[in-house]
Amino acid sequence: MNNYHRPVYVHEYDGGEYDVVMFTGARWALTSSEFLLHGGRIPDRKVSNGQEGVGSDIGNFFKYFFHAYNGYYGNYTVSEETGKLVDSEFLCHVCHDDSNPCLYDGKCKNGTCECSQDSFGGGVKSLQVCMCTWTIQVSVAQFILIQAFAFFLVVKNGHCDPFFNAPEFKMDSGDCCESTCQSTPQYTCGAAEDGYVSTGYYYYKSLWISFEEAPNVIQVYEAQEGLFEFRTNVTITRNGTLAGFYSLSLSEDGSKLAVQSLFYSEFFSGSIVVLAWDELSGDYATETELRFETDLYTLFPLSLALNQDGTVLAYGFPECQGAQLHIFTCNDAGVWVPRRAPQMNTTGCIESTFPTSNNALAVSGDGSVIAFRVGSKVRVYRWEAELKSWNSLGDEFPFTHYPVAMSPEGKELAISSPEDRNGGVTAVYALPGKKECPTGMSLLRLSLTLDSFPAEVAWNLVNNRTGEILFEQDSYPQEYKFATILEETCVPADSCYTFTIEQFGSCASCPAGTELFSMMILTCGPMEWALLKLIEQGVNKSVLHEDNNFDKVSNQTVYPPRSDDDFLLSESDCKIIPDSHDACLDPAECYELQVSSNKVKNRAYVEIVFGEQRVNTIPETACEGQTFFVGREDKCLQEED
């Protein structure tokens, strides 16, 4: 490719047509030789318009056309990220010289951008793609793309690209306003100080390993000028017996290769063999072998992960009677020594999938951060050298099923679940740095998760002393369904702040003489379960509604502001549970609402709308439960007395 300096991947069809995937700096963009996506925003799992295009399932499209089919169960590392929208306004097919011109030497002809440059490369067959914002040239001569990379739809990559620092590119999807951030509904900036928060991410490996063709031979490929060329074959023998392989891990620099080997004899046995690349011989040689005290058959298969330079190795036993995680480091003398591993405190399993890259473990480049899956959760820990211990980085991450990937710096984490009912989900999180506040100021952060009706959600945060509205939002578009909103700012530590949130809806279904009762709960705290009861007051005190399905809503502790230290309305995510509670009630009566949980350090921000009554509160202190009365004032006062 020429004059683009970003990743571009090409697939050629038999008829000489091409599909192109390119990284724009804001996200991955998909084009076709016949059409380009255009016009506003579309769901990312719908990449075609009408009958044209490359297909409606973006996960399957990538799987079949842009990398080899990998694994006995068809596990592909590229899958759609549901709930997101694809910005396609800068990929244009219909152009106009005045209103929608083709820039960078593209020419608008009959509503279509055409390239003006000649092919390059001395007669080499080339593909030219003209777009409204740039023109690129991609050589496709002998362009071979195998499964050597995994990438995910990019929302933001943490780096400000000056070219995309413009409103039409949403300030590089928010990357360019982090240093002077004032978040708006259009440009979301800022990130959580502690723990990982959702972000965008792409991941590329320069080497690739496989043993699909021969189960006893490992094939290693190396990237050379955009193509993957064969490097070497690797085999392992013991006493003349050729080993089989179940799990592989290759360090990012290609210097180390870890193999879970299995020797078939009178009984099953095996080991983890670590091989080092020898430049003189041009081959991998055994550096160490870690043998198991139990038959390898009972440990099938392991999850393996090497760090970037191959000096840290992590592996997990998938024993359902008590999962185990082990970590070894290679010291200056070249000796592998064990390092204390994080305590798993679980009876769940660490599971791995076939054959090479879909492990349930990931290690940062320097080996200081490790992520591993236990059951249906992923845990992340950072090694504190002075304390010689592992400290947790945030909460457990849910819904993982297959790969866990981490960037070399350990600041990005990708978790994939490609076989859910939606066809595949990849969640990506980032670990940003600490936000500093001036003396006398404290960091205030608000994080909330919207429900299935974001247009009906309104909220604000007010400084009680000054009356200043720090943040407010009247509603959200439907594409924000189940989205997590994050806002943070530095505020005076000696002030009090009120958070108000409400959800409104239609009461058209309420019978005559009744009014709509609507309630939502935004909760943060280590709450394992909660119970909601709506009770009609009177002689019988009948229970109108009871719901105890709030299991494990959140496991964050929420603290009120007490000093100059940072305080949080929510350390990570707040949950609206459930979407809402609606009922048609008699406004002449009084009703009691009980919200309780089995944990003491819990905050439930409750917003109740009943006719013209509105009840909104943030508890000043921790409580096991709350009781509210709504309805006719005189009757409710009698009940409170």
pLDDT value for 271: 74
Banded pLDDT at 449 (limits 50, 70, 90)? low
In DSSP terms, which residues pair with 414 in a beta bridge?
A: 405, 428
pLDDT value for 117: 43
Q: Which of 45-54, 184-193, 203-212, 304-313 has the highest mean pLDDT?
A: 304-313
pLDDT value for 628: 67
Is residue 380 predicted with pLDDT exceeding 60? yes
Q: How many CA atoms are closer than 13 Å to the CA of 476, on its beta-carbon side?
A: 24
pTM here is 0.38
Residues near 76 by beta carbon (within 8 Å), at least 6 away in sequence? 59, 62, 63, 67, 69, 70, 418, 424
CATH fold label, 205-430 = Methylamine Dehydrogenase; Chain H (2.130.10)
pLDDT value for 364: 82
CA–CA distance, 429 with 414 (Å, rounded to integer)? 6
CA–CA distance, 186 with 319 (Å, rounded to integer)? 48
Residues near 9 by beta carbon (within 8 Å), at least 6 away in sequence? 20, 21, 22, 66, 145
Q: Which of 38-42, 72-76, 272-276 has the highest mean pLDDT?
A: 272-276
**DSSP reduced 3-state for 312:** strand
The average pLDDT across 530-539 equals 64
pLDDT value for 242: 66
Banded pLDDT at 428 (limits 50, 70, 90)? low
Q: Are 595 and 530 in contact (CB under 8 A)?
A: yes
Is residue 432 predicted with pLDDT exceeding 80? no
Among 9-23, 422-436, 474-488, 581-595, where is mean pLDDT lowest? Answer: 422-436
CA–CA distance, 303 with 403 (Å, rounded to integer)? 10
Percent of the chain scored above 90 by pLDDT? Answer: 0
Report CA 2 to chain centroid distance, whole Å: 32
Between these two residues, 315 and 403, which has the higher pLDDT value?
315
Is residue 365 predicted with pLDDT exceeding 60? yes
- The helix or strand, by DSSP H or E, that contains position 62, with its residue range, turns out to be helix 58-65
CA–CA distance, 629 with 103 (Å, rounded to integer)? 63
Banded pLDDT at 532 (limits 50, 70, 90)? low
Q: Are 228 and 144 in contact (CB under 8 A)?
A: yes
Mean per-residue pLDDT over the chain, rounded: 57
State pLDDT tens for residues 451-496: 656 777 788 888 877 888 888 888 777 656 655 566 667 788 777 7
Is residue 624 predicted with pLDDT exceeding 60? no
Is residue 499 predicted with pLDDT exceeding 50? yes
pLDDT value for 514: 74
Is residue 636 predicted with pLDDT exceeding 60? yes
Between these two residues, 220 and 345, which has the higher pLDDT value?
220
Among 124-133, 337-346, 382-391, where is mean pLDDT lowest? Answer: 124-133
pLDDT value for 324: 64
State pLDDT tens for residues 158-176: 555 555 566 555 566 666 6
Banded pLDDT at 385 (limits 50, 70, 90)? confident
Banded pLDDT at 435 (limits 50, 70, 90)? low
Q: How many CA atoms are closer than 13 Å to the CA of 348, on its beta-carbon side?
A: 14
pLDDT value for 87: 34
What would the 3-class secondary structure string for 436-463 be? CCCCCEEEEEEEEECCCCHHHEEEEEEE
pLDDT value for 439: 83
State pLDDT tens for residues 601-613: 445 555 566 665 6
All CATH 2.130.10.10 domain ranges of the chain, comma separated, are 205-430
The average pLDDT across 250-269 equals 68
Q: Which of 45-59, 85-99, 161-175 has the highest mean pLDDT?
A: 161-175
Enter the DSSP assignment of 375: T
Among 60-64, 154-158, 167-171, 631-635, where is mean pLDDT lowest? Answer: 154-158
CA–CA distance, 638 with 630 (Å, rounded to integer)? 12
Output the six-digit token pair for 101: 């011109």
CA dihedral of residues 489, 492, 493, 494 (deg, nearest 10): -150
Among 37-51, 116-130, 138-152, 188-202, where is mean pLDDT lowest? Answer: 138-152
Banded pLDDT at 276 (limits 50, 70, 90)? confident
Ramachandran assignment for 460, one of left (phi > 0), alpha (psi -120 to 50 degrees), beta (any other): beta
Among 50-64, 114-128, 199-213, 251-265, where is mean pLDDT lowest? Answer: 114-128
State pLDDT tens for residues 284-316: 888 877 765 555 444 555 677 888 788 888 877
Q: How many CA atoms are closer than 13 Å to the CA of 466, on its beta-carbon side?
A: 10
- The helix or strand, by DSSP H or E, that contains position 634, with its residue range, turns out to be helix 633-640
Is residue 537 predicted with pLDDT exceeding 60? yes
Helices (H) and strands (E) in the chain, counts: 3, 48
The secondary structure of 557-595 as a DSSP string is ------SSS---S-SS--EE-SS-EEEEE-TTSEEEEEE
Residues near 122 by beta carbon (within 8 Å), at least 6 away in sequence? none
pLDDT value for 506: 43
CA–CA distance, 480 with 181 (Å, rounded to integer)? 21
Q: Are 255 and 241 in contact (CB under 8 A)?
A: no
pLDDT value for 501: 73
Q: Which of 160-174, 387-401, 457-471, 542-556 has the highest mean pLDDT?
A: 457-471
Among 13-17, 381-385, 508-512, where is mean pLDDT lowest? Answer: 13-17
Going by C-alpha positions, the residue among 464, 525, 524 that lies closest to residue 491 is: 464
Is residue 92 predicted with pLDDT exceeding 70? no
Among 28-42, 88-102, 158-172, 291-305, where is mean pLDDT lowest? Answer: 28-42
Between these two residues, 18 and 131, which has the higher pLDDT value?
18
pLDDT value for 146: 20
